[in-house]
Homo-oligomer: A and B are copies of this chain.
Amino acid sequence: MSTRADMAMHVLPGIPLIEAGDDLAAILHAALGRLPVTLADGDVLVLAQKIVSKAEGRLVRLADVTPSARAVALGAETDKDPRLVQLILDESTEILRQRPGMLLVRHRRGFVGAHAGIDQSNIDHADGEGALLLPVDPDASAMALHAALLELSGKRIAVIIADSMNRAWRLGTIGGAIGCAGLQVLDDLRGSSDMYGRELKVTLINRADSLAAGACLLMGESVERTPAVLIQGLPWRPTAQTARDIIRPLAEDMFR
């Protein structure tokens, strides 16, 4: 009797702390080789945004940031460091909501989140207080890693760059996809029928976010130690979709 699961998630072992300039694809490829599995086309690698950002040198020292008058005012209103507010403003196109301790913005890549994804945890502040920005273009980062892993392994490993996300109405973060390459991000069932021949109404399934949510649970908060999860077992339907395709068009946004 096979004990093969329909979906199996493996934490990649032995990934070192990532620093700016590290060859992330080579590090991931080596870690994949330590897993007791055989890689296959269509396997999905979910990566914590944090290691991609660090490898890309997106750590900023707050001492190097000069806040604008707007950032100073907004910092006073929200009880946040004006230099951090300046970084948030630089990384976003729109402020959706603000209150003390919280700035909900639309990131310049389109997705909505607290503080434009800028994070101050699990960062070495020995060199002065720092803040880690999201990758410049997470979809491009995912595509570059996807291509490099194909080169190294000969397999088409889909890549999801994931980040913890807050949501409206529900407490607690779950992982979501901010960069994707080599997988079906959205599964559009429009026009297909249910088992009684009725047309399906809920027709768009977000596969990338579903996988990111499950995988990020395995990373936990020690995400620096376990920042990568391999997912095996799902049917493979490669597309040219990216995380950009997840963004709800502004015209359909009822919560702007």
A28 CB → nearest B CB, Å: 16
Assembled-state Cα–Cα distance A57/B36 (Å): 46
Asked if A217 and B211 make an inter-chain contact with CB atoms under 8 angstroms apart, the answer reads yes
Asked if B171 and A247 make an inter-chain contact with CB atoms under 8 angstroms apart, the answer reads yes
A232 CB → nearest B CB, Å: 8
Question: Given A167-B167, A172-B186, A214-B213, is A7 in contact with B8 using a C-beta cutoff of 8 Å?
Answer: yes
Question: Given A6-B10, A122-B194, A218-B7, is A176 in contact with B170 using a C-beta cutoff of 8 Å?
Answer: yes
Asked if A246 and B36 make an inter-chain contact with CB atoms under 8 angstroms apart, the answer reads no
Contact residue range for chain A?
Answer: 35 or more
Q: Does A37 contact B (CB under 8 A)?
A: yes
Assembled-state Cα–Cα distance A209/B123 (Å): 27
- B residues near A124, Cβ cutoff 8 Å: 196
Asked if A221 and B200 make an inter-chain contact with CB atoms under 8 angstroms apart, the answer reads yes
Asked if B201 and A120 make an inter-chain contact with CB atoms under 8 angstroms apart, the answer reads yes
Assembled-state Cα–Cα distance A130/B48 (Å): 44
User: Interface 1/0s, chain A 184-216, versus B by CB < 8 A?
Assistant: 011101001011101011101111011101111
Task: Determine the residue in chain B with the shortest Cβ distance to A256.
Answer: B169
- B residues near A221, Cβ cutoff 8 Å: 189, 192, 194, 200, 205
Assembled-state Cα–Cα distance A245/B172 (Å): 10
- B residues near A185, Cβ cutoff 8 Å: 172
Asked if A6 and B198 make an inter-chain contact with CB atoms under 8 angstroms apart, the answer reads no
The one of B173, B211, B234, B254 in contact with A205, judged by C-beta atoms closer than 8 angstroms, is B173
- B residues near A121, Cβ cutoff 8 Å: 194, 198, 200-202
Assembled-state Cα–Cα distance A220/B168 (Å): 24
Assembled-state Cα–Cα distance A49/B166 (Å): 24
- B residues near A229, Cβ cutoff 8 Å: 6
- B residues near A104, Cβ cutoff 8 Å: 254
Q: Does A182 contact B (CB under 8 A)?
A: no
* Interface contacts beyond A6-B218, A104-B254, A169-B247: sample of 16 additional A-B pairs, CB < 8 Å, sorted by A: A5-B5, A5-B10, A6-B11, A112-B169, A121-B200, A121-B201, A122-B198, A170-B206, A172-B207, A172-B246, A173-B204, A175-B210, A195-B222, A195-B225, A210-B214, A213-B213
Closest 4 pairs (CB-CB, A-B): A214-B214, A172-B206, A213-B213, A5-B8
